[in-house]
Structures are given as structure tokens and as C-alpha cells.
Amino acid sequence: MLEVHHVTKHYASRPILRDVSLALAKGERVALLGPSGCGKTTLLNCIGGIDRVDSGRIELAGADLATLTSDGLSLVRRRQIGTIFQFFHLLPTLTAEENIEMPLQLTGMAKAERLERVRALMQRVGIAHRSGALPAQLSGGEMQRVAIARAVIHRPMLILADEPTGNLDSATGAQILDLLREVTEEEGTALLMVTHSDEAARACHRVLRMLDGVLL
């Protein structure tokens, strides 16, 4: 489903990614471990189509990202990818519910169906009671639940998570990991998770380690 072939990437002639290759199957959860600055986030950005590779190839569901335009990449992210960030990155002016609803609105789903799905998912991730709250009014755990819900609401093939528990206390982090595992299993979604945490890694099927831009 996701195939990364011999990807290299430089920033200002400094190599960030060196000949990275990996593959994810449908529903597979993979943890990507490595020290700060090893290139994990860059790899994630390249896979998400936010950044472009210098050489090599990234295929998502058989499509070569390099052949897509910026708008094409946006459509890929809109339909196939969900993203979770360490700092949640909810849209500050939208309520929890509106944040979750946004990806569905982008795909043009009818309102009734959209709301039904959003509400069901909010129930599922345990934040139904906070649906009208703005991000600033939510706790860290709640924000990350909203972020997870937003990442999966449109049933993407792949979730890219960048340190999803990095900004949470350990108890909340554990709950979030459980939720992430359950949700991806229910939806059959693949997960590529950048993390420092062994605990997070244990929630995955597979662990990849990265050092200085090289996948070990």
C-alpha cells in the first residue's frame, strides 16, 4: 500500500534522508524510532506529500507522489492520509466537532451523513461531551483525541503520526495509544508513527530505527 524506494533528501546540501526504503501493508502499524534530527519528520512530510524528495520514489496505493501536482497531493492527503501531530495542531477557531468534520467537508460528503459519522466517532473516542468546545478550552488528551478523530474520520488508508504522545503525560499517552491502535484496527488503517517512546513502539507491529537519515 505504501512503498518508499531509495529516497534521498537534502536541505541546503546537508543530507537528511539517505537511500531510505520501506513498505507498509494495509492495516500495518509501524513505529519509526530515532534520535532528534535523524530525518524522521522529513520522511513523514515526504510521505504526506508536504515535502518533495530529491530522488527515489514514494508510491501510495500505487500512485507515484512525484508525478502529482501540488493540488493532486492535496487530494491524496484529503482522501488517503490522516495526520496526527505532537502539538495537535487543531484549527484554533473551529470547535472540536468542526475540526473533525473538516476533512469530510473537504471531500464534499452530504451534511447528514457527515454529522452522523462525526458524532459516532466522537462518541467512540470519548469526546462527545466536548463537541462545541474550542481547542483552547480542551486538555491535551482531549485535543489529541480530537486530532485522532480528525485523522481517521475520512477513513484514510494511512495515518501519519508524529510523536502523538510526546506532549502528553504517560497515563494519557497510554490511553491515546490504545485508542490509536483500536481505531486503526477497526478501520483497517495503516499507521506510520514517529516516536521516541518504547511504549508507543510496542503498540506497533513493526519497529524501524533511523539514524542520520539512514534506515537501519
Partner 1 sequence: MNDVVLILRRCALRHWRLAWKQQLMLLAILALGTGVHVAMKLANRSALAGFERFTQTITSESDWTLRAAAGPLQEEWLREMRAALGGLPVNLIPAIEATVTPPALPSSAEVSIGAQPTWRLLGMDLIGLQNLRASFPAQTNVPVLAERSVFVSQGMARNQGWKEGSEVKVVINDEVISLKVAGIMPVIPDAPAPPDDLLLMDLPEAQRLLHREGEIDRVEVLSRDGAAFSGLREQSAILLKQAAKDRWQLLGHEDRHALAGSMTAAFRLNLNVLSLLALLVGGYLMFQALDGVVIRRREEIAVLRSLGVRERSIQMAFLAEAALLGLVAGILGDGLGWVGAQAAVMGVARTMTALYGASSATYASLNLDEALLGVAICIGTSLVAAWWPARVAAATPAAQILGRHSMHSVSGKIWRVEVFGVMACITALGLAELGPLRINGMRIPLAAYAAALFWLMGAGLAAGGLLQLFRAGENPVRRLAFSHLRQPSIRHRFAVAALTSAITMSTGMAVMIASFDNTMRGWIVRSMKADIYVSSAGAQSASSTSLISAATVDEIRAMPGVQEVAVVRHMAVNLPDGPVHAMGGDMAFAQRRDLHAWVQAPAQDWWYGNEPAALINESLGERLQKHRGDLIEMPTPAGLKPVRIAGVYADYGNERGTILLHEDRFREWFHNEMAWRVAVMLKPGADAETMRAALQHGHPGLSVFTQAHLRKEALRIFRQTFAVTYALEAVGVIVAVAGLGLALASLMLDRRKELATLRAIGFTTREASQACAWEGFGLAVSGVVAGIIAGVWLGWLLIERVNKQSFGWTLTFHFPGWQIAAMAVAVIGTGIVVSAFVGRWSSTLTVDREE
Which chain residues interact with partner 1 by CB under 8 A?
Answer: 11, 41-42, 45, 48, 50-51, 70-71, 74-79, 81-83, 85, 87-94, 98, 102-103, 105-106, 111, 134-135, 150, 167
Which residues, at least 6 apart from 199, have a Cβ–Cβ distance to it below 8 Å? 165, 170, 173, 174, 177
Residue 94 CB, shortest distance to partner 1, in Å, is 5
Please state the closest distance from residue 202 (CB atom) to partner 1, in A: 25
151 close to 83: Cβ distance less than 8 angstroms: yes
Quote the least distance from Cβ 67 to partner 1, whole Å.
17
> Mapping DSSP to helix (H, G, I), strand (E, B) and coil, where does residue 12 land?
coil
Which is nearer to partner 1, 85 or 177 (by Cβ)?
85
Closest to 60 (Cα-Cα) out of 7, 2, 20: 2
Q: Which is nearer to partner 1, 74 or 207 (CB)?
A: 74
Evaluate whether 180 touches 191 at the Cβ level (below 8 Å). yes
Q: How far is the CB of 198 from partner 1 (least distance, A)?
A: 22
